[in-house]
Structure 1
Amino acid sequence: MRCSKKIVLLAFCSVVLAGCANRPAKTEAEVNYQEDILLKAKNYNGLITMYRSWLKNNDTADSRIKLSRYYYLAGDYKSSLYYLQPLNMKNDVRVSILQAQNMIALGDYGPAIRVTDKMLQQDGNNAEAWNLRGVALALSGKAAEGQQAIDKSRQLFIADDVAINNLAMIAMLDYRYQDAVGLLLPQYLRGKKQSQILHNLVLSLVKVGDRRYAKNIIESENLSNKPDELIDALAAISPRAKGGHK
């Protein structure tokens, strides 16, 4: 997202380094340098501050899309959409992708599907549009259609870990946790350790009763310093709330 919202995958707390660059960037080279540092630290608040300052005198589509992207990554979906508004009339696939991602995160599945349909009218082989359409369909209650769309995105060579995580999400929506484990565990064993994959795998392992393996992953990946408490909390989760798609 790649690109949440009918499955509860526990919102694991992540520490985002606070602060921003010492002084506003004055040149594009300085922006790129500061952006690289802040990205490595996943300091999205710092990136937002930097690009807001930069946009005052350099309001370009590229910079505005980056600002919107960092608002999305920081979890401020309404602000992300707000800063995209001046670009809504532009035929830019990056804008459409961000719109759909934010709409899904806000639970606005119908509008997200309409955005992806428009993208597919322009390019029927847009793998990301099929992926996002599949997520929105699945989370709106159309799991079979969602799976078909995500399968299509995989045929179009979207990243395997993105497609597999989203297929696992659909399995979890249907309470098919063993299927989700079957999808995610091979990815984990191959070294794919993105947060969504880890969180979905741990939850699925707990739901199928493999608490020991879930605890091993929690400890080895430093997901919590209280693994037993986390497992108890996951065991009580209902899979009908907030999600973990990409």
Structure 2
Amino acid sequence: MIALYRNQLKHKEDPQVRLKLAQYYYQVGDYQTSLNTLLALNNKTDRQIALLRAKNAIALENYAQALQVTDAMMLREPNDAEAWNLRGIALALSGKREEGQRAIEYARALFIADEIALNNLAAIAMLDQRYQHVVELLLPQYLYGKKQTRLLHNLVLSLVKVGDRRSARNIIESENLSDRPDALIDALAQVAPDVKEKV
């Protein structure tokens, strides 16, 4: 898809095609190229462009830039749940965890998807190694049938960290996360989480 969209832009500039190209770069983890692709759209105030800018800035650990983008979004729409959620992530990862948690809780009050808000709140708890709180947040979501990859990874790691290896093994086996559940559990018991990947 990247080659297709690049070829289209080579022949004719189209803001929608440019945005799609930037989204694909983001999805494959090429955050700087995604941001660079968006540069030609700088004069646009499109919400999708702003959200992608904020996501790229967070991925590149440029939290100040992410906060600038989300602040500008909230000036236009004070109750944009996704902007509040991204603001919370940027705040938490920049060290302002309580402020970040409040922003994500506000995003949840504005009806961002529960699994998104709860997984992000869980990631903040993981920063403080409050693994029991993570289990309390995510296990009900799993039992309700929510099985997004990040939620599963955060839940399994936290179960291991609180010593509930049996539940962790059950989830690993049920969700086919590994063909060697005990080896995975042993490895998880030894490592600290890379929470930036989990938010």
Report whether the alignment pairs 1:208 with 2:162: yes
CA contact (8 A) 1:175 1:239 kept: no
Residues 121 and 150 of structure 1: is their aligned pair in 2 closer, same or farther, counting only changes over 3 Å? Answer: same
Aligned to 1:229: 183
1:127 Cα shift?
A: 0.6
Letter in 2 for 1:153: A
Letter in 1 for 2:183: E
The percent of aligned pairs where both chains have the same amino acid is: 60
Q: Which of 74, 77, 80 is matched with 2:28 structurally?
A: 74
Aligned to 2:122: 168
Q: Per-residue CA shift, 1:74-123, capped at 9, x if unaligned?
A: 11111111111101221111111101101111111111111111111111
Q: Which of 51, 54, 58 is matched with 1:100 structurally?
A: 54
Report whether the alignment pairs 1:87 with 2:41: yes
Unaligned runs of 5+ in 2: none
C-alpha distance in 2 between matches for 1:228 and 1:54: 49
Number of residue equivalences: 199
Q: Which runs of 4+ in 1 moved over 6 A?
A: none
1:228 Cα shift?
A: 1.8
Q: Per-residue CA shift, 1:107-153, capped at 9, x if unaligned?
A: 11111111111111111111111000000101111111001100111
TM-score (norm 1): 0.77
Secondary structure of the corresponding residue to residue 64 of structure 1: helix
Secondary structure of the corresponding residue to residue 75 of structure 1: coil
Residues 50 and 224 of structure 1: is their aligned pair in 2 closer, same or farther, counting only changes over 3 Å? Answer: farther
Q: Which of 100, 113, 118 is matched with 2:67 structurally?
A: 113
TM-score (norm 2): 0.95
Q: Per-residue CA shift, 1:24-76, capped at 9, x if unaligned?
A: xxxxxxxxxxxxxxxxxxxxxxx222322333334311111111111111111
**Superposition RMSD in Å:** 1.4
Letter in 2 for 1:52: R
Aligned to 1:157: 111
CA contact (8 A) 1:96 1:119 kept: yes
C-alpha distance in 2 between matches for 1:193 and 1:215: 15
Residues 127 and 241 of structure 1: is their aligned pair in 2 closer, same or farther, counting only changes over 3 Å? Answer: closer
C-alpha distance in 1 between matches for 2:24 and 2:143: 30
1:241 Cα shift?
A: 5.8
Q: Which of 1, 13, 19 is matched with 1:65 structurally?
A: 19
C-alpha distance in 2 between matches for 1:97 and 1:195: 21
CA contact (8 A) 1:134 1:150 kept: yes
CA contact (8 A) 1:104 1:136 kept: yes
Secondary structure of the corresponding residue to residue 152 of structure 2: helix
C-alpha distance in 2 between matches for 1:223 and 1:173: 23
Unaligned runs of 5+ in 1: 1-46
Secondary structure of the corresponding residue to residue 243 of structure 1: helix
Aligned to 2:131: 177
